[in-house]
Amino acid sequence: MKNNNFIKTTALVLTFIFAGTFSSTVSAQSSKKQRYKVAVCDWMILKRQKLGSFALAAEIKADGIELDMGGLGNRPTFDSKLGDPIERQKFMDKSKELNVGISSIAMSGFYAQSFAKRESITLMIEDCVKAMKNMNVKVAYLPLGTESDLVKNPELRPIVIERLKWAGKQVGKIGGVIAIETSLSATEEKKLLEEIGCKYIKSSFNFANAVDNGRDIATELKILGKKHLAQIHASTTDKVWLENDKAVDMPKIKKTLDDMNWKGWLIVERSRDVTQVHNVKANYGANVAYLKRIFQN
């Protein structure tokens, strides 16, 4: 009798172990097969280049993070741990452990710094490309920001194009892409990308740029086209959560991207509820959940 009970108990335990393993495997495979994946910016969840960004992303059920290169300030290059092999490995191990991917490596320092005028641009780009290569990340995010805004400073266009052509050659050596964010309309940004003429320089499309300038997101995406689109910052200026934002027709956006046969990362940067703007888990958890509900069901 005791032997029978032992056999039954053992069989039950093995069944649970197998079921759990199978469930985890299916979950991991399902995540890998997703046409659209959802990430959050590590600097916006207050975990800029910190290992804790992976755990927080996992907690709010994001598929990945956009990992920042670190601050710039007056330094010749980014304040980054990613050039240190030991530190870099910690990030890669944590990513694997928690099954939280890295959508892209961001040069967010250029939100406030001038891509057109900084003298050590060569070193900055080379450091970012090295990090991409060593971490097997294929996309770098480069916002042209306020100092290289081509709408407000059109005279900077020639130098920006020249520098992006050079940067494209560098990232092209590792088969990667630099995704730029501008304040231009989709029509004008497409012209800019065609003038640069490098397949390794593409667009990081931002919902906020379209909405803040009274442009329809889906229409802008169609104009830009699959060929020029590397990733999407799928959020708007802080006001309400994405699901409550009347300027964002998410099902229409999904259909547009489906029709374009595009696939890639949707990255949450903002769209925080201003009544609780500092509640990271509530804001990013809600926006991640909404994007996954629309794009992954």
In a 3-state reduction of DSSP, which class is residue 261? coil
Residue 289 CB neighbour total at 10 angstroms: 17
* Whether the model pTM is above 0.85: yes
Question: Residues 6 or more apart from 33 whose CB is under 8 A from it?
Answer: none
Tell me the helices (H) and strands (E) count for the chain, helix number first. Answer: 10, 8
Which long-range contacts link 24-32 to residues 24+ away (Cβ below 8 Å)? Answer: 28/99, 31/63, 31/99
Instruction: Write down the pLDDT at residue 22.
Output: 35
Decide: residue 37, CB within 10 A, 0-12 exposed, 13-18 middle, 19+ buried: buried
Domains of the chain: 36-295 (3.20.20.150)
Q: What is the C-alpha to C-alpha distance for residues 272 and 174, in angstroms, rounded to an integer?
A: 35
Instruction: Write down the pLDDT at residue 3.
Output: 46
102: enclosing H helix or E strand: strand 101-106
Per-residue pLDDT of the chain (297 residues; tens, 9 = 90+): 444 444 444 444 333 333 444 333 333 334 458 999 999 999 999 999 999 999 999 999 999 999 999 999 999 999 999 999 999 999 999 999 999 999 999 999 999 999 999 999 999 999 999 999 999 999 999 999 999 999 999 999 999 999 999 999 999 999 999 999 999 999 999 999 999 999 999 999 999 999 999 999 999 999 999 999 999 999 999 999 999 999 999 999 999 999 999 999 999 999 999 999 999 999 999 999 999 999 998
Instruction: Write down the pLDDT at residue 32.
Output: 58
